[in-house]
Amino acid sequence: MSHSDPSEPAAATPHFAGSRIEHLFETVVFASRWIQAPLYGGLIVAELLYAYKFLVELWEMISHIHQQQETVFMLGVLGLIDVTMVANLLTMVIIGGYATFVSKLDLEGHPDRPDWLTHIDPGTIKIKLAASLIGISSIHLLKSFVDIEHEDPEHIKWKIFIHMTFLGSAILLAWTDKIMQKERKH
């Protein structure tokens, strides 16, 4: 048989079967990004717990305002700022991570859409996370300095070392990202 009838389906060749299997596997690999969705849901629960912790600490400050010394009050405020910064970090990870790795967010007409969401990528997320960690570390360091009489000098040294490590890492991340962006443009 030298000619085949065009109305008859072509017999599956090994190459065709292989490409079908490859396509199916690639579909499964791509769909696996949804495995991360429950993780982002868990982070939302953690953010709710942080909001609860914030309210508990705020109520504690309100109910004892007349008995608190200024230093204790300042430490309480710094604690609230710390909780807020961790919640901001969670929000960035949840929104940025979901939009980058799982699915686009359909927020084109939304009036509250964050500006940073239009140019988010894994590099940007890393830099924002590093900056947030520096902010959180700064608050912890400031709390140590405010309450220095109750702090172990060795612990303060370690906190400074850790803070400087975060700072150095953020600078290296930003520098690396800048170099990579220049290379992409060329």
Q: Is 9 exposed, middle or buried (0-12, 13-18, 19+ CB in 10 A)?
A: exposed
Question: Is residue 62 in a domain?
Answer: yes
Structural domain containing residue 40? 36-181
Question: Is residue 4 in a domain?
Answer: no
CB 97 within 8 Å of CB 119: no
Question: Is residue 42 in a domain?
Answer: yes
Name the token pair of 19. 């490409």
CB 56 within 8 Å of CB 64: no
Give the pLDDT score at 101: 87
pLDDT in tens, 61-75: 999 999 988 888 998
Structural domain count of the chain: 1
Q: Considering the entire predicted model, what is its pTM?
A: 0.71
Question: Is residue 89 in a domain?
Answer: yes
CB 55 within 8 Å of CB 67: no
Question: Is residue 106 in a domain?
Answer: yes
Mean of pLDDT values over 69-97:
90
Question: Is residue 24 in a domain?
Answer: no
Question: Is residue 132 in a domain?
Answer: yes
pLDDT in tens, 153-163: 899 999 999 99
pLDDT in tens, 111-122: 888 777 777 777
Question: Is residue 2 in a domain?
Answer: no
Mean of pLDDT values over 123-137:
83
How high does pLDDT run on average in the chain? 85
